[in-house]
Structure formats: C-alpha cells, structure tokens
Amino acid sequence: MRRAAVARSEKAVDLPLQPLDLVEEPGEVGLRQGRSDHVLGEKPGHLCELQSSVLERLPDSSPRRVEERLAQEGRDRDDGPAEPLAGFGPGETPGLDRHADGVREVDSPLPSRDFPGLAHSTGRLYVRTLSDVLASIPRSLLPRQMNHSRGLKPGASLAPGSQKTGLADCQGPDKRGRKDTMRRKITVVGAGNVGATAAQRLAEKEMGDVVLVDIIEGVPQGKALDMYQSGPVEGFDGKVVGSNGYEETAGSDMVILTAGLARKPGMSRDDLLKKNEEIVAACTAGIMKYSKNPYIVVVTNPLDAMCEVARRVSKLPKNRVVGMAGILDTARMRAFISMETGYAMSNIHATVLGGHGDTMVPLPRYSTIAGVPITELLPPEKVAAIVKRTAGGGGEIVALLKTGSAYYAPSAAAVEMADAIFNDKKKILPCAAYLEGEYGIKGLYVGVPAVLGHGGVEKIIELKLTAEEAAALKKSSDSVAELFGLLTC
C-alpha cells in the first residue's frame, strides 16, 4: 500500500491510503465517499484538519476533465482560483492524476454541522455545494418531495453549475395551489384540548407547518405562539400559527377536524349529532375554499357520521376522508390488556371493528400478546371485562373528568394517522373508512383495519369473522346507518 506524508503543524503525519475502486458513470465522474478511521489531529477543530475518505479510482480518460471541473468550481464559487489550504501546499503531494490520491471531508467551524468539501492533492479546497450533494445521490433515494411528485420535475438538472439546481427547483405551485412545496402544511380545526394537543404533537414530530384554527378570538393565536416558543427547547423548526379564519390554511396537505361540542356526562355520541353536523359542515366548507385536495382526518363525534358530513361537503374521494376511531379504541384495549397482564404495550395488539360508540366490536380472537391470542392467556371473565371496558372507555374518562372528555389518546391517534399517510408507511391501522361492500356493508363509515399510505385509505383488510362476530358488526353498522339517516347536509 502506498503512503503519503502530509505536513501539518511543523510535523509530518503518515496517512495510509486506502485501495481505490474503479467506477465510471456515463457523463460524470463518480465520487463515493466513505469515512475511514484515520483523522489528522486528535481533536479536529479547524477547517484545515481533514478527515480521510475514499475516492474511487478515476478512469484513465478522466483526470483532465476532473481537474478542469474542480478549477472551474473554484472560480465559480470564489470569483478566482481557490486559495491553497494550509498544510497542503503545492508540491507537498503529487498532483491529481489517474492515481487520485486525495478526497477528504473537513469539519465545519460551526458546531454540530458537517462541512463537506474536496481537498485534492494540489492543495486546493473545494467546498461542495447543495447541488453537488444532490447530484451525488441517486434520484430513487431522494425524498418524494424532492423527486418527481412534489419538487424537481422529471429531467430537471442537478448538475453543479446548472441554472436549475438546489432549492430553486423545489419551489413553485403544486396541485394544492401552494408555492412552497418543501414543507408540508397541516391544519388543525378546533383549538380545544384535542386540537391543541394534536397541534403540539405534530410540531414536535416535525410533520410540517401547523395552522391552528378556532372561532374564539385570541385562543388559537395564543396557543400557537406558546407552542412555537417551545421549539427551541423541543428542537423543532416548523411554523405554528393560529387563526380565526381559513385564509391561513391555504394549500393545506392535511386537515384534522376536532371542532365540535364536547361530550358531557350522561350524553351519548348520538345526542351530539345535530349540532356537530352544522359545525363540521361549516369547517369543511371553509377549508375547501382555500385547499384543493387535502386529506381530512375526522375526530369530532359522533365520528362515523361526521366523516360522512366531511365527505359530502368536501366532495373529496372516499380514500381522502377518514375517521380516527379505531386507533383510539384499540389503544384503549391494548392499555387495558397491559394493565391486566403487566406485559409491555409494545407487545400487545388489539382489533376493534364497528362504529365508534357503545356498539363497537372488540375482537379478543384477533387481539394478541406477542402473537398469542389473549383468549389463550386470560380466563374468559377477564377477557369479557376488557371488552366491556373498551366499549365504554370514552365514557369512563368523561365520568372522571366531569367537565370534559379525553384528548391525550385521541390526539395521539390522529397524529399516528397523519404520520402513516405523509410518510407512505402502508400501516395497517383500524380507522373509520367508507365501505362499499366490504364486510357486507355499503355506503357507511365503519371502523375496520385499513392500509394507510400516500393514497390515504389504500386498502380495506377483511377479517374472517365468526357468526357471532359478524352479527355484532351488523348491529354496530345498523346504528351508524341510523345516524346517517338523520343527516341533513
């Protein structure tokens, strides 16, 4: 193996050079960087203290092109030739030739930031720009919004020196009418406990910029400002703004509807229907005035009926309007199973079908601990108690709070749905989806397992049910149908 002596701080350090591989890409010279264990200096703290990395051996015909390209980049960036780097003066190491001795990465003078650069053996430092970095990444590995669907157009150039490179190519109106396509935009309608907590979770997870909307003047603005000021502590950079109107929501990618009357002790979800129908219809109309094609996640109760209100008013495809119910119901069941058994909730999975109310259908057969059905781990009376408590889980919290309803778990469930859709996770999650024949149900929103991804509700998962389970699901869907019959929108 060849060795090169590199002078630094009045003494020489021998740096073993690593074997070089030959890779040639059409029309470009490929640099494949891989950080090694060799670092010049014990504690790099200066731009001149370089870390070694690997450069693929250049083909015989390439050195001149590379030398010219590097020199041109130096002129473009510095309006003149790059200055020699201290410790790597001309003549101390061989020039860049077909043996290609020197690509390094340098540490940034800024804390906690990598400052990628090229330091070839003629002693010149060439800083890699964003376009250089993007050009070295295969298009298939670029984030979706920087590939063809939301940002760079097919065929757009990422080559250094191109007039259409970097962030500029990722700007421009998208199909929702928004100009800045680099950030997602999420609107949460309703700044009560559920909405505000959902907005905070979204901001902390950096799901996108958040707009919090409520009709009470000052409330969404104050809560949004408070959330935004937690950013330096929690480490998120997304915007959080509050509004009493819908202009700020323009171009939303997703809307989480939480607005509506809270459930009071002794009040069934069905009692909420008439008033909350008016609220959800007005909110949906306001959103659709400024956003063309958002996903809508409904949280407002009675949930199954409110999903239908949002679908009718928005006129969106059925896969883009979905209800939060099932994730919340199964989360409660998983918690109760964990409380009963003492096992980790991460090992517990539960399945609940049907409407989001007293007639929901928990399925112990499909509820497992590390893959083992709970019916094989718990006595029948314990299973029955868990099923009953799951169905009344929301009412139990209302009775305890006396002046409100659950919001931590509901907000967490809504954010999990947003994450699955935005990041195209293809997660199978129980949610209120519009059925057209699945499970023998047509034209209703009912809680079922569904695949959530970039297409919204992409697929309904049909489980094999016993006669008893099928009868319970039919009873639940019949109660949802009654609510649908009372809708006026």
Cα–Cα separations (whole angstroms), residue 211 to 223, 307, 314, 423, 474: 11, 21, 19, 20, 39
Extract long-range pairs of 277-285: CB within 8 Å, 24+ residues apart: 277/305, 277/306, 277/309, 277/487, 277/488, 277/489, 280/306, 280/309, 280/310, 280/313, 281/309, 281/313, 281/489, 283/189, 283/190, 283/213, 283/257, 283/259, 284/257, 284/309, 284/310, 284/313, 284/314, 285/313
**356 given a catalytic annotation:** yes
Given the DSSP bridges, would you call strands 361-362 and 368-369 parallel, antiparallel or unpaired?
unpaired
Active-site residue, selected from the candidate residues 46, 99, 349, 356? 356
Answer yes or no: are the C-beta atoms of 85 and 48 closer than 8 Å.
yes
What residues form DSSP beta bridges with 240?
210
* Cβ atoms < 10 Å from Cβ of 233: 7
Positive or negative torsion for Cα 58, 64, 67, 72 = negative
Q: By CB neighbour count within 10 A (0-12 exposed, 13-18 middle, 19+ buried), where does 141 fall?
A: exposed
Give me the amino acid identity at 56. Answer: E
Catalytic positions, please? 356
